[in-house]
Amino acid sequence: MINAKLAAKSHLHHQTIVKLSEQVSFGGIQLVIIGGPCAVESKEQMETVAQKLSTAPVQALRGGVYKPRTSPYAFQGMGEEGLKILAGVRSRYNMPVVTEVMSISQIEAIAAHADMLQVGSRNMQNFDLLKALGQAGKPILLKRGLAATIEEFIMAAEYILSNGNPDVVLCERGIRSFDNYTRNVLDLGAVAALKQITHLPVIVDPSHAVGKRELVAPVAKAAIACGADGLIIECHPEPEQSVSDARQALSLEDMVSLVNSLKPVAAAVERNISEELGVGLEPAPLCLSAA
């Protein structure tokens, strides 16, 4: 029995809807597909990504500017400069953006520029950060820890909820196991369980789960089939050149065809992916750019 006073369902059909923007919400009939690179690398890169994905059924953009890297010598992200790039494409393409927050000191700046703050796997049990995000005033995308149990994951969400923020979306991104052929092991059983235990929307990150671009599409389909409310997928204009997670990055073309191929799977489980071409077909004039 998991003692999640706020995260647990109170009745069978209890479902929280988390609003990302006027047009995009998690937890309803419509699935939310988030696409973009592992890391924001340049204005040109994000412009190309937003331009392509805004003409596809992709509802939101991702891109890390504060990157939790295994090695301290690896690229750590563009920081504030990257945030301005995100803010620029957000307004020009009218697409919400999601980016990772690693520390309490970054919350204010990220909340000023992004629509959703992502807590990465490595920070799932950073309790002080979770408590502070209770007051962030923006929805939180909480990723499952590398080796967190389902109970620990739900209790991490409970920290954010109990500190005042009701807008939490859970993200299954694979857990560590003995086999390293795939980067992690995608726990679809956890997705089904989370959907039964909690009223929070649950999405899946197939990219970090499998770590290999050729495995992303089949796993993404399975995630939708088993009830996920959306997906977050890494893609890049030049996947091989990605500064981080190059091996799992899809090309923008493959991203668009993957999303289109999800439509019949979504229909089979009575969900859908918006047929409207993106949310910002016509980019707003460049002068609106904050970057």
Q: Which residues contact ligand PEP by CB under 6 A?
A: 38, 64, 68, 120-122, 143, 173, 205, 208
Residue 271 is given by DSSP the state -
The CB-nearest residue to Mn ion is 38
- Write the DSSP string, 237-255: SSGGG-SS-GGGPEEHHHH
Give least dist CB 246 to Mn ion, A: 10
Binding piece for Mn ion, criterion CB under 5 A, among 17-25, 31-39, 211-219, 280-288: 31-39
Query: How many CA atoms does the CB half-sphere of 67 hold within 13 Å?
Result: 23
Look at residue 183 and give the partner it binds from ligand PEP, Mn ion, none, a contact being a CB closer than 5 to 8 Å depending on partner kind: none
Task: Give SS3 for 233.
Answer: strand
Quick one: 38 or 56, whose CB is closer to Mn ion?
A: 38
Write phi, then psi, for 262 (nearest 5 degrees): -80, -15
Q: Which is nearer to Mn ion, 120 or 278 (CB)?
A: 120
Q: Decide whether 177 or 260 has the Cβ nearer to ligand PEP.
A: 177
6: tokens are: 């706020």
From the list Mn ion, ligand PEP, none, pick the one residue 68 interacts with, judged by a Cβ distance below 5 to 8 Å according to partner type.
ligand PEP
Would you count residue 100 as binding Mn ion (CB under 5 A)? no
In the chain, count of helices (H) and strands (E)? 9, 11
Which of 31, 38, 142, 255 is in the footprint of Mn ion by CB under 5 A? 38
What is the Cα–Cα distance from 41 to 48, expressed in whole angstroms? 12
Q: Which is nearer to ligand PEP, 138 or 143 (CB)?
A: 143
Helix ranges (DSSP H) in the chain = 43-53, 80-93, 107-113, 127-133, 150-162, 188-197, 206-210, 213-225, 252-268
Amino acid found at 260:
N
Stretch of 14-22, 96-104, 149-157, 239-247 lying at the interface with Mn ion (CB under 5 A): 239-247
Size of the site for Mn ion (CB under 5 A): 2
Picked from ligand PEP, Mn ion, none, the partner binding residue 143 (CB below 5 to 8 A depending on kind) is ligand PEP
Q: CB burial class (10 A; 0-12, 13-18, 19+) of residue 268?
A: exposed
CB under 5 A: which stretch of 24-32, 34-42, 71-79, 112-120 binds Mn ion? 34-42
Q: Rounded to whole angstroms, how far apart are CA atoms 103 and 265? A: 37
Closest approach of Mn ion to the CB of residue 66, in Å:
12
38 or 279: whose CB is closer to Mn ion? 38
245 binding Mn ion? (CB under 5 A): yes
Q: Does the protein bind Mn ion through residue 250 (CB under 5 A)?
A: no
Question: Binds 173, which of Mn ion, ligand PEP, none (CB < 5 to 8 A, cut-off by type)?
Answer: ligand PEP
Cβ-closest position to ligand PEP: 120
* Nearest residue to 218 (alpha-carbon basis) of 258, 169, 245, 160: 258
The C-alpha atoms of residue 63 and residue 72 are separated, in whole angstroms, by 19
Part of the chain binding Mn ion (CB under 5 A), chosen from 22-30, 47-55, 237-245, 273-281: 237-245
Q: Which residues bind Mn ion (CB under 5 A)?
A: 38, 245
